[in-house]
Amino acid sequence: MSVVFSADLEDKNQEIGEIFTPRFDLCGLMTSVVTDACSGDLLMLAYMNAESIRLTLETGIAYFWSRSRKSLWKKGETSGNVFYIEEILIDCDQDALWLKVHVSGKKVACHTGARSCFYRRMTMDNDVIILK
Amino acid sequence: MSVVFSADLEDKNQEIGEIFTPRFDLCGLMTSVVTDACSGDLLMLAYMNAESIRLTLETGIAYFWSRSRKSLWKKGETSGNVFYIEEILIDCDQDALWLKVHVSGKKVACHTGARSCFYRRMTMDNDVIILK
C-alpha cells in the first residue's frame, strides 16, 4: 500500500480537478501566454491578477495587470489593438494561463509596433549571443 | 526638439539592438515559453538562468532552471522527452524567451503525462470559474 501525503493529494486535485485553485505568485499574479488564435504565433507574455482573470472571462476581452503602472490594464484601450478571447487554458499546476486571441485594430500586440513582441532570433556567434 | 532620457535610450537599445542584454528577475531567471515547432501548440512554461540559456544555445537541447529543485534541469533527462531546439526568439524588453522545439521520446511535455501542460479550458458557469 502506498502512502499518499496530503501535499500530494492537493497537487493531484490541482492537476486533475475542475475547481479553479490558482497559484498566484507573491505579487498575486499569474503569467499569461497570449497567442494568435489563427496563426498560433506567440504574441506576448502578460500578467493577470484575480480581478483581470474574472473581467476577461466575463467580457471576452483581455485584461491584464500592468506591473510597471501597477494598475488594471485593458489591452488595446489606447492603441485600439484589443484582444478578443477565443479560448483560455490553464496549466497543470494552475500557475499559468494560455490565452488564444483575435487582435482587432492594426493587429499589433507589441508596444514597439510589431505584431508580436518576439521579433528577434537568438543565435551564437563565436560564443557571443546575437539577436537578429 | 524632443528630450530623450537615458532610460529611454537604454530601453530603445534593448528593443532594437542585436546585443543580448537580458532582464533577469530578482532570482536571475527569465520566463521561457515552449511551443511545438510543428503544431505550434503551447507545451509548457519554464525558467532559464544565464547558464541554461548558454547550454541550450550551445547544445541545441533545452536546459532550464528548476525552481522547485533549485538546480539545472536538462529537460527529458529522466523521461526521455528531450526538447530539440528549432529556434529561440526573445521579446522586446528581453525578459522572456520563445523556444520552438521538437519533442523526442513519447512526445510528452508535461509531468502528468499530457502532451502539453495546458489541457484544461477555463469557463464561467454562474459566476464560478470551471476547468474542463
Q: What is the pLDDT of residues A110-119, one digit of tens each?
A: 999 999 999 9
- Cβ atoms B74, B58 nearer than 8 A: no
The answer to whether residues B110 and A98 touch, using CB atoms and an 8 Å cutoff, is: no
- β-partners of residue A30 are A48
Cβ(A17)–Cβ(A94) under 8 Å?
Answer: no
Q: In residues, how long is chain B?
A: 132
Three cell numbers, residue B109: 511535455
- CB-defined contacts A:B, below 8 A: 120
Chain A contact for B125 (CB, 8 A cutoff): no
Distance in angstroms (rounded) separating the CA atoms of residues A39 and B6: 37
Q: Is A53 in Cβ contact with B98 (below 8 Å)?
A: no
Contacts of B87 (CB under 8 A, 6+ apart): A121, B37, B99, B100
The average pLDDT across B27-31 equals 97
**Chain A residue with Cα closest to B33:** A33
Determine the Cα–Cα distance for residues B35 and B103; give it in Å rounded to an integer.
10
Q: Mutate one of A24, A31, A39, A42 to test the B interface: name it (highest B CB count within 10 A).
A: A42
Question: Which of B122, B125, B132 is the best residue to mutate to test the A interface, defined by the most A CB atoms within 10 Å of its own CB?
Answer: B122
Query: What ipTM score was computed for the predicted complex, to two decimals?
Result: 0.90
The gap between the terminal CA atoms of chain B, to the nearest Å, is: 56
pLDDT digits (tens, 9 = 90+) for A23-65: 999 999 999 999 999 999 999 999 999 999 999 999 999 999 9
Nearest beta carbon to residue B15 from set A39, A97, A112: A112
Whether the full predicted model's pTM is greater than 0.80, yes or no, is yes
Interchain pair B97, A18: CB under 8 A: no
R_g of chain B computed on alpha carbons = 18
Q: What does the block give as the cell for B43?
A: 507545451
